[in-house]
């Protein structure tokens, strides 16, 4: 998952090792932080579990983390993440059939011909496209499309970091803005009793702000490295990439009508997945089935041998197995935290600390806490279930609109999904794209700091205008 031949000195350990270290940290915290629980009730109408913030008590944890619990959490994490992992395996298998058919190479060559002289516009267009995917909640669901976008951008002569950033940052800013993201916006607003997707205009404006900042940052790096390859974070690879350009390879593939139809089918899969997720309430099983259908569609349209295509599908899925394990191991961290019963204790301490502070300080502290908390609990919807029942009542006490509290949660949750090493989705994307975590941090850290600064300014504005409904 990390490139070979990196310079000697400090380097981040393999993603699996990183997850094991974080799990060990949770075990240590379980012996320091007392266990505690809020009273929980299930809303019979929505099925959502709510916390009674008036009833909290410390408990004696009768099930402390044992030696075997530590390692069985790895198994359980993969099992509990099976729906996401299976969807990615199906997507990778289907897209590998498309790749081996030559349709992707032919399509990329055609796009490069069209894009000649318009490279910057292509980067902006792809950044915008991936941000749209992010707005509807595509996190891990957008990962299979990252290598396709990267092939286009690298084919235009940009380095691997530019290519990876264009798609990944797009997902990050779209997911964070939460325009119609059910996993953060929808769940959070439901918990605090707001109309779902209310405050839409503010979130669209926020998305545009994030998009402008990201486009300027990425294009600045892209122009700098294209003008001077030594400025590239992956300089040695970039020099080799330019010496062995892929354009000649794409020229060998003819863009036939069957290949055009196959790529049109890919666009239909993308649109259908988005429509199904928003309008039809589709989950991972339905998204997996879409890719299974698409694989069969490719066999028919491209007139492939079914048995050969099935073998290709298996090879493509196998390429994503290390990625799937990374997602499962990330879930293992949450499993141990649940067993230690220290999440509610941390939330209770937070609410007590902020009960007598001003609104601006409260917003800043809450924003920072959500960012930090995301290191341990990456799941947007899961974290909303934990934090929003506290943030909602706290907002009422301090006179902060519930909509503003939702925005604080959204903006604190999203960006670090693409920065923290405990994010299985990020590690999956890095693995598929052959980008090292250390290289990604070198490129993205300043950008994420800028985005977080802009996000907090937007939070302050939302609070000053009394963003509603309450």
Q: What is the pLDDT along the chain (470 residues), one digit of tens a residue?
A: 444 444 445 566 776 787 788 889 888 988 888 888 877 777 676 665 666 667 788 888 778 888 899 999 999 988 988 887 888 788 888 888 887 877 766 776 676 667 667 788 888 888 988 888 788 766 666 777 788 788 888 888 888 899 999 989 998 998 888 887 766 777 777 777 777 777 888 999 999 999 999 999 999 999 999 888 889 888 888 888 777 654 444 445 677 888 888 888 888 887 787 677 667 777 778 888 988 998 999 999 888 899 999 999 998 888 778 777 877 887 788 788 888 888 778 777 777 776 667 778 888 888 998 888 778 776 666 677 667 767 776 777 667 888 888 899 889 888 888 888 877 778 878 887 888 888 999 999 999 999 999 999 999 999 888 887 75
pLDDT at 250: 46
Domain contains 113:
yes
pLDDT at 345: 81
Q: Where are the alpha helices (DSSP H) in 341-379?
A: 343-354, 359-373
pLDDT at 248: 46
pLDDT at 211: 95
Q: Name the token pair of 336.
A: 């141990």
Write out the residue range of the structural domain in which residue 282 sits.
81-319+341-420+432-464
Q: What is the C-alpha to C-alpha distance for residues 105 and 110, in angstroms, rounded to an integer?
A: 9
* pTM metric for this prediction: 0.71
Q: Is the dihedral of CA 235, 316, 98, 181 positive or negative?
A: negative
Domain contains 238:
yes
With contact defined as beta carbons under 8 Å apart, do 258 and 301 qualify? yes
Q: What is the C-alpha to C-alpha distance for residues 105 and 101, in angstroms, rounded to an integer?
A: 9
Domain contains 118:
yes
Domain contains 69:
no
User: What is the total count of domains within the chain?
Assistant: 1
What are the distances in angstroms from CA 104 to CA 40, 99, 147, 187, 263? 51, 5, 11, 37, 8
Domain contains 184:
yes
Domain contains 75:
no
Q: What is the C-alpha to C-alpha distance for residues 1 and 166, in angstroms, rounded to an integer?
A: 20
**Residue 303, SS3 per DSSP:** coil
pLDDT at 169: 93
Domain contains 336:
no
Which residue from 177, 124, 81 is spatially nearest to 406, judged by alpha carbons? 177
Domain contains 313:
yes
pLDDT at 397: 63
Q: Report CA dihedral (204, 210, 212, 215) to the nearest 10 degrees.
A: -130
236 — phi, psi (to 5°)? Answer: -60, -45
**Residue 324, SS3 per DSSP:** helix
């Amino acid at each position: 998952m990390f490139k070979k031949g990196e310079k000697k000195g400090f380097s981040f350990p393999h993603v699996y090792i990183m997850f094991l270290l974080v799990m060990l940290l949770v075990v240590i915290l379980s012996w320091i932080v007392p266990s505690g629980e809020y009273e929980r009730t299930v809303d019979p109408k929505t099925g959502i579990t709510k916390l009674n913030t008036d009833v909290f008590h410390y408990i004696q944890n009768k099930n402390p983390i044992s030696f075997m619990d530590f390692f069985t959490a790895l198994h359980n994490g993969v099992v509990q993440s099976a729906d996401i992992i299976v969807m990615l395996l199906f997507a990778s298998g289907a897209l590998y059939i498309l790749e081996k058919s030559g349709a992707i190479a032919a399509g990329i060559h055609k796009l490069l011909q069209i894009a000649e002289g318009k490279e910057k516009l292509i980067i902006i267009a792809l950044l915008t496209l991936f941000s749209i995917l992010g707005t509807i909640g595509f996190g891990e669901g957008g990962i299979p499309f990252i290598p396709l976008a990267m092939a286009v951008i690298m084919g235009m002569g940009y380095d691997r970091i530019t290519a990876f950033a264009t798609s990944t940052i797009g997902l990050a800013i779209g997911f964070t803005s939460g325009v119609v993201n059910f996993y953060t916006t929808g769940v959070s607003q439901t918990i605090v009793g707001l109309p779902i997707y209310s405050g839409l205009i503010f979130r669209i404006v926020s998305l545009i702000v994030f998009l402008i900042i990201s486009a300027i940052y990425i294009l600045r790096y892209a122009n700098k490295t294209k003008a001077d390859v030594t400025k590239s974070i992956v300089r040695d690879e970039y020099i080799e990439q330019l010496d062995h350009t892929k354009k000649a390879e794409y020229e060998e593939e003819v863009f036939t009508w069957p290949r055009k139809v196959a790529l049109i089918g890919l666009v239909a899969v993308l649109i259908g997945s988005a429509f199904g997720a928003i309008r039809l309430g589709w989950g991972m099983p339905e998204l997996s089935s879409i890719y299974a259908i698409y694989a069969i569609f490719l066999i028919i349209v491209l007139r492939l041998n079914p048995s050969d295509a099935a073998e290709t599908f298996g090879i493509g899925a196998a390429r994503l197995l290390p990625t799937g394990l990374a997602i499962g191991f990330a879930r293992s961290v949450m499993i141990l935290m649940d067993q230690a019963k220290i999440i509610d204790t941390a939330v209770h301490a937070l609410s007590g600390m902020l009960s007598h502070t001003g609104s601006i300080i409260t917003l800043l502290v809450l924003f920072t806490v959500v960012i930090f908390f995301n290191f341990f609990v990456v799941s947007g919807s899961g974290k909303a279930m934990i934090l929003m029942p506290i943030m909602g009542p706290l907002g009422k006490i301090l006179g902060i609109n519930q909509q503003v509290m939702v925005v604080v949660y959204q903006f604190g949750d999203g960006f670090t999904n693409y920065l923290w090493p405990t994010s299985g989705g990020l590690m999956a994307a890095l693995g598929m794209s052959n980008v090292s975590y250390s290289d990604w941090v070198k490129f993205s850290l300043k950008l994420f700091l800028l985005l977080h600064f802009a996000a907090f300014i937007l939070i302050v504005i939302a609070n000053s205008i009394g963003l509603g409904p309450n």
